[in-house]
Structure 1
């Protein structure tokens, strides 16, 4: 992990492209991207991102920013890019591409795998609002498709191919022989089923609770770092995946589908594929965690257990948010 002092120096260098700041930037987090809160000299309140090297190139990052610019212009609650003094969408510092977006005031709807609310009615209502927002995102993307959308694709190959976007989940080093066999069977089954999904286009691809803000004006989506062309059901599945083992997960699933359908058509045969895509997100996370955490990090085993549970439900039914018969 990059030391905070070095990150601060890189942020201050990057911010020259935006005319510098009225006060030192505030470090928000150092994860794959490094994020700062800053107040530019012209008064604008922004989030500065120092993008991780080797994931999205400058062209891909600028594609993301142009898409968010277009979505914001359509009234979607997403971060609006702030162009640099020279009119460009990006700058740089060291080996990192830098970008700025308008700061959105709000709080994440949940922290990690914490429950969304104390009762089914509250969970259902919040999930309905999120489902509606996801549908609006998809509708806006269809109304004005992004051009030159040069991003990693969340398609059959990106999720289930020989080199998935987030790693060969069926080869996680902590898998038991039985777990590895189960994930191999599930992967083969999913490859035969994913072709039934019909709605494909630009997606956010990472609608986890920490990327959904509750603001005074409603819910907003942030962190489009993983966006790309993909199955729309993957966005719904990602919004559901953190509900695993929550006793109110069924209310969340019902609310999400209800809110989505209030804004965008989703036939029953397509809705029936949602457990498949929840499993696909669980598989992707199982591959992702291998290189993102130490071998003894408890998330390694938790992500394996979750992926295997999703795999078993996908193969045998019913959906994982419903009790087994």
Structure 2
């Protein structure tokens, strides 16, 4: 979509919130289109034009109600801004629109950046993130969202015939050997999932770009993929970008330690983390197929990561070394 068309849609959508004093600023055009804006009453917000065909209005409003409840409990998440009609969403064209509180801060990193310069720094940063994820899960259990009409990150959503992000074992760039490996890993993963005990509302996309470092600590943004799921999947998503980093073990150890500082995590459950890191890698390999050109280097990189982690899972060897 062109920037001009996106701006026109944003200005139409903003009527739901009483418009703005100045034109909104385009932040990015990806699956969702995001603008920064200042409403006429002075509130600083992020306007999202949600991608069509992923979550319907009911699903988007379920996400917003959950974030509203989390914010009320003191969690550092974007607080939804209701429109002048009291509704959580508006719209423009074929897109549902929503406004959330703008959070000042910058992402803690991206997929190709290490978390810190040394093991101690990585451990400390990962520990803070693990504690935040535990707080998210605790708050969700304390006040479970009602009518949480969202896609589930369960066995079917991750490994079924039609996973949420695509049939990763059919990626067109897979070699026959790689395809056989992923099919074997998929079958074993389905059996191992039965051992995971903690299931409930999760963020489902705690990548480094969705974690902001603010003056008040870490904050979580972009709940677009949230839904019912295994809690270990949130920890695994926070870990998967560390693949190939020589300090990955320090990240894994810090994340688990931080989580345990706020929420119980038994040894047998922590021992399933390599399984869930593989599951996230599988999902990403399915996701990239329709999101990037065939010659995008991420296509091959995601396949390689999925296959390496699949082999670790089949061999029963963690891809890092840490104490559980």
Q: Secondary structure at the match of 2:76?
A: coil
Determine whether 1:237 maps to 2:200: no
Distance 1:234 1:243 in 2: 15
Normalised by the length of structure 1, the TM-score is 0.98
The match for 1:85 is: 84
Determine whether 1:265 maps to 2:267: no
Which deviations, in whole Å up to 9, do the C-alpha atoms of 1:41-90 show, x marking residues without a partner? 10000000000000000000000000000000000000000000100000
Distance 2:110 2:278 in 1: 21
The match for 2:145 is: 146
The match for 1:184 is: 183
The match for 1:226 is: 225
Q: How far is the alpha carbon of 1:295 from its aligned partner? A: 0.3
Q: How far is the alpha carbon of 1:318 from its aligned partner? A: 1.9
Q: Secondary structure at the match of 1:20?
A: coil
Distance 1:185 1:112 in 2: 27
Q: How far is the alpha carbon of 1:246 from its aligned partner? A: 0.3
Determine whether 1:298 maps to 2:301: no
Distance 2:135 2:182 in 1: 34
Q: How far is the alpha carbon of 1:113 from its aligned partner? A: 2.5
Matched-pair contact (CA < 8 Å) for 1:203–1:227: yes
Q: Secondary structure at the match of 2:91?
A: strand
Matched-pair contact (CA < 8 Å) for 1:236–1:256: yes
Instruction: Give the RMSD, CA atoms, in angstroms.
Output: 0.8
The match for 1:201 is: 200
Distance 2:320 2:283 in 1: 19
Distance 1:269 1:19 in 2: 52
Consecutive unaligned residues of structure 1, counting only runs of 5 or more, are: none
The match for 1:314 is: 313
Which deviations, in whole Å up to 9, do the C-alpha atoms of 1:218-275 show, x marking residues without a partner? 0000000000000000000000000000000000000000000000000000000000
The match for 2:56 is: 57
Q: Secondary structure at the match of 1:16?
A: helix
Q: How far is the alpha carbon of 1:322 from its aligned partner? A: 3.4
Matched-pair contact (CA < 8 Å) for 1:199–1:232: yes
Distance 1:153 1:113 in 2: 28
Distance 1:194 1:227 in 2: 19
Q: How many residues align?
A: 322
Distance 2:190 2:196 in 1: 11
Q: Secondary structure at the match of 2:289?
A: helix
Q: Secondary structure at the match of 1:243?
A: coil
Q: Secondary structure at the match of 1:174?
A: coil
Which deviations, in whole Å up to 9, do the C-alpha atoms of 1:81-109 show, x marking residues without a partner? 00001000000000000000000000000
Matched-pair contact (CA < 8 Å) for 1:49–1:99: yes
Distance 1:159 1:69 in 2: 27
Determine whether 1:71 maps to 2:73: no
Q: Secondary structure at the match of 2:129?
A: helix
Distance 2:231 2:212 in 1: 20
Matched-pair contact (CA < 8 Å) for 1:244–1:321: no
Distance 2:203 2:112 in 1: 20
The match for 2:164 is: 165
Distance 1:187 1:232 in 2: 19
Q: How far is the alpha carbon of 1:321 from its aligned partner? A: 1.9
Which deviations, in whole Å up to 9, do the C-alpha atoms of 1:115-153 show, x marking residues without a partner? 011001111000000000000000000000000100000
Distance 1:308 1:81 in 2: 39
Q: Secondary structure at the match of 1:43?
A: coil
Q: How far is the alpha carbon of 1:112 from its aligned partner? A: 2.2
